[in-house]
Amino acid sequence: MFSTPFLDLPPLAGASGTVRLPGSKSISNRVLLLAALAGGTTTVHDLLDSDDTRVMLDALAALGCRIDRAGAGLRIEGLDGRLRTSGAKLFLGNAGTAMRPLTAALALLGGEFELSGVPRMHERPIGDLVDALVQLGCRIDYLGNPGYPPLAIHPVPLDSLQLAAPIRVRGDVSSQFLTALLLALPLAAGAASERADQASGRDITIEVIGELISKPYIEITLNLLSRFGIEVRREGWERFVIPAGSRYRSPGDIHVEADASSASYFIALGAIARGEGIRIEGVGADSIQGDIRFVEAARLMGAHIDSGPNWLAISRGAWPLKAIDLDANHIPDAAMTLAVMALYADGPCLLRNIASWRVKETDRIDAMAKELRKLGATVEDGPDFICVHPLARAGWRAASIRTYDDHRVAMCFSLAAFNPAGLPVRILEPHCVAKTFPDYFETLFSVAEAAEVPVLCIDGPTASGKGTLAVAVAYQLGYHYLDSGTLYRVTGLAMRRNGLEADAAHEMQIAELARTLPLRFSEGKVLLSGEDVSDAIRTEAAGMDASRVSALPAVRKALLALQKSFRRLPGLVADGRDMGTVVFPDATLKVYLTASAAQRAERRHKQLISKGISTTLDGLRADLEARDLRDSSRSVAPLKPAPDARLLDNSLLSVEQSVEQVLAWWQEVQPFGSS
């Protein structure tokens, strides 16, 4: 997951390959709650690991559930409808799939609870659900604005609940209100069956007021309830009947299918991008999720899609995509992807009946309209619709996309990087995808093909601090890092271990060693044939050997292809002595870092002394000057700044100041401006 303040997506030209998606958020949190309410132990497989599922797991643990790892699965010992705590304060982030169902369940389970979340959660309405629960006789107080979290829930005896009359709940704001009641009310139905009075044989009925939105999500709820032993009778979309005596029963093992909403981005990718197409594994034609119907919308726009029980295969068909006019109420989350696909259509695309967008993680109609306009699009929007006009090649603009702490905004707009104008797209706060798909961008990069991967080169003499600077800059940008000096140091180490010398007589043998280095980097370690050689290559002697082998033309040629292979999405920061002159002459930004020999010797002296290595300043300075002379006078790729490099003398600068300067230069060569 990228935790940087922004992530720059370079222009993307095509995409091919296979992706396996994480588990569905909607299914994951429903399954977790049902497993907690049921008797017995449930092992959950393929559970989504995300912010929303973590807050649900934390809440269930606070309620007394025992939760253990079982290999790749999660074993949950259910409460069997009885709390093991008298109360708790639960923080639920911005997870509506945790806040709404837990509100209903805790109102029936008993105990004193406070439920809160992030500020946006306190702006998301919950009044209709609370009103329905209060009808029953539950006691719930608002701790802030009426109709919104945070909430205080107080215990009531189950036998005091008013279950004779139908429980009425609005269906036109959020389907999560109805889902919450369906998941929780079997607690009351089961309790009623244990009482020896007239209520023992009574069903519990829920009536929906108004048009029920997002019906496919209710289908998910009913499907999962059935897996846990609750057979709800549905009378159209207006009445739902929970039979008297209903009790949750653990299915033992349950698998979470991949997230159909997340699949929408890769379905769109296959429809937009040139290439051999995209195969999605983990979700297919028989999915229980409503958002699988995004496939129908993508086909209407011209995508070629094949499917099986657990897979989808998508390739580009009609181009440009075909404009659509769609009632998107049945795919509220996935429909956001259509709004970005509309930029590539042959006419305006209208998405209707999407009022629920306004009460999601952000006001999604407003957010999508604003960010699409930044890209240059003409957008019309209203209370429950959005109309997006396509963009001609000349109309695209580079833009910084604000994500509003909304994972789906971030993922949708990544598709704008395939624009025909070849412009990059900046995604602000990319870490928000952790809500449902922490590795989204990594997954995208595994199949995307860039027109050109950006490179930032930091060259300079030995001990100038280029490695420290490059690592820090790479971290800030979320880019890969190449320490070219490590490659030469490892080559020097391999040379010594094979009894060779850095001279013309052994040049070809050393070059062959370099070509076939069994080298890999793992968690900050340098592994040679599986051996951690991180310390062995950091000695002064190893540095001298690296300088000597780098002067051998055949060795440099052998390592050139290896160095270039580090150029991968989303970008690369490379440090060395000829990154900007030889290896990446087309780099977006080149920095030549230097400092006086005296300053560099002093830094190296402090570094070695801290490691308990005895040395002298004069000796270090002499070694550095000799190395500078050898590097600058070698016949191949002599050490010197690239003609277009920006010079940075850091003799008097801290690392932080140097990083700040390089990042400022980087911003100067980007097209985003202050948008």
Residue 606 labelled as part of a binding site: no
Kindly state whether residue 127 falls inside one of the protein's structural domains.
yes
**DSSP labels, 319-359:** SSBPP-EEE-TTSTTTHHHHHHHGGGBSS-EEEES-GGGGG
Q: Where does a domain end: 255, 279, 306? A: 255
Condensed to tens digits (0 to 9), the pLDDT of residues 615-659 reads: 777 777 777 777 777 777 776 667 789 999 999 999 889 999 999
Q: Are residues 245 and 207 in the same domain?
A: yes
Q: Are residues 101 and 235 in the same domain?
A: yes
Q: Are residues 138 and 43 in the same domain?
A: yes
The two three-digit tokens of residue 342, written as one number: 């509309």
Residue 360 labelled as part of a binding site: yes
pLDDT-based confidence at residue 201 (cuts at 50, 70, 90): low
pTM score, whole prediction: 0.86
Tell me how far the alpha carbon of residue 422 is from its chain's centroid: 24
Angle between helices 186-193 and 175-184 in degrees, nearest 10: 20
Report whether 237 contacts 266 (CB < 8 A).
no
> At residue 245, does pLDDT exceed 60?
yes
Q: Are residues 101 and 234 in the same domain?
A: yes
Q: Are residues 227 and 307 in the same domain?
A: no
Q: Give percent of the chain above pLDDT 70.
A: 97
Condensed to tens digits (0 to 9), the pLDDT of residues 470-481 reads: 999 999 999 999
Residue 354's domain is classified under what CATH number?
3.65.10.10
- Identify the domain containing residue 669 by its residue range: 452-479+570-675
> pLDDT value at position 631?
74
Kindly state whether residue 49 falls inside one of the protein's structural domains.
yes
Residue type, 559: L
Residue 564 labelled as part of a binding site: no
Angle between helices 540-550 and 484-497 in degrees, nearest 10: 100
Kindly state whether residue 582 falls inside one of the protein's structural domains.
yes
Residue 383 labelled as part of a binding site: no
Taking CA atoms, 646 is separated from 23, 68, 265, 376, 666, in Å, by 47, 54, 39, 33, 11
Kindly state whether residue 269 falls inside one of the protein's structural domains.
yes
Q: Are residues 287 and 354 in the same domain?
A: yes
Kindly state whether residue 606 falls inside one of the protein's structural domains.
yes
Using DSSP's 3-state secondary structure scheme, residue 149 falls into coil
Q: Where does a domain end: 206, 225, 255? A: 255
Cα distance between residue 534 and residue 511, in whole Å: 21
Cα distance between residue 644 and residue 196, in whole Å: 88
Q: Are residues 272 and 405 in the same domain?
A: yes
Taking CA atoms, 361 is separated from 119, 256, 403, 484, 516, in Å, by 11, 23, 10, 44, 51
Q: Give percent of the chain above pLDDT 90.
A: 81
Q: Are residues 491 and 537 in the same domain?
A: yes
Residue 600 labelled as part of a binding site: no
Q: Which is nearest to 153 in space by CA: 172, 129, 174?
A: 129
Kindly state whether residue 1 falls inside one of the protein's structural domains.
no
Condensed to tens digits (0 to 9), the pLDDT of residues 133-149 reads: 999 999 999 999 999 99
> pLDDT value at position 600?
74
Residue 28 labelled as part of a binding site: no
Kindly state whether residue 129 falls inside one of the protein's structural domains.
yes
**DSSP labels, 569-618:** TT-EEEEESSIIIII-TT-SEEEEEE--HHHHHHHHHHHHHHTT----HH
Q: Are residues 367 and 436 in the same domain?
A: yes
Q: Are residues 514 and 660 in the same domain?
A: no
The number of folded domains in the chain is 4
pLDDT-based confidence at residue 195 (cuts at 50, 70, 90): very low
Residue 588's domain is classified under what CATH number?
3.40.50.300
Other C-beta atoms closer than 10 Å to the C-beta of 635 total 8
Q: Which is nearest to 407 in space by CA: 436, 449, 446, 382?
A: 436
Q: Where does a domain end: 187, 221, 255? A: 255
Measure the CA dihedral 149/155/160/161, to 10°: 30
Cα distance between residue 274 and residue 280, in whole Å: 17
Burial 200-216 (b: 16+ CB within 10 A, else e): eebebbbebeeebbbeb
Q: Are residues 301 and 428 in the same domain?
A: yes
Q: Which residues are catalytic?
A: 333
Q: 172: Cβ–Cβ under 8 A, 6 or more apart, which residues?
A: 209, 210, 211, 212, 213, 355
Kindly state whether residue 360 falls inside one of the protein's structural domains.
yes
Residue 96 labelled as part of a binding site: yes
Q: Are residues 215 and 249 in the same domain?
A: yes
Using DSSP's 3-state secondary structure scheme, residue 372 falls into helix
Q: Which is nearest to 441 in space by CA: 449, 431, 452?
A: 431
Residue 466 labelled as part of a binding site: yes
